[in-house]
Amino acid sequence: MKFVYFREEKRRLKRLERKRQHEEKTLAMKIALEERKMLIAHRKLESMRLLEELFNRVKVQIAQEELNKKERELQEERLRGMDIETANASNSTPFMPTQLLPQTTTKEYKPLNTNNNSKEIIEAQLNELRKEFYQKDETIDDILRKRTTIIDRKVF
């Protein structure tokens, strides 16, 4: 009787051991699966961060290009104004020394060189343009949205 009891006990212990090993194996598989999911989620999150950084750099570059373009346009406008002034100056009457003498009329004095005044005006316009550009409510996202034809622009 003692042997029967001993055999049954051995079988029961063997069965319990197999069951425990099976549970450990399934638990290890579940843990490995969860770790894999976490790794994939971490990679996706890192990709999103990298994309966000890339988009931010592109936004800054586009904004800088826009500003440079506007500055070039103002510079070209300034040069055209200077060309017109020099053309007008070359078509005017030759310089006479009597022009420097004070006039006896009661007219208000006007500076002979209006070039500096126009430069100041153009510089003021350029500064206003810069202020307007940096204070715009329009974000770089809006600028990108205008330039692209993608229907769904949301990345995140």
If one counts every other C-beta atom within 10 angstroms of the C-beta of residue 33, the result is 10
Distances (CA, A) of 22 to 13, 14, 27: 14, 12, 8
Is the pLDDT higher at 70 or at 92? Answer: 70
Using pLDDT thresholds of 50, 70 and 90, give the confidence band for residue 153.
Answer: very low
pLDDT in tens, 27-76: 999 999 999 999 999 999 999 999 999 999 999 999 999 999 999 999 99
- What's the confidence (pLDDT) of residue 84? 81
- What's the confidence (pLDDT) of residue 12? 94
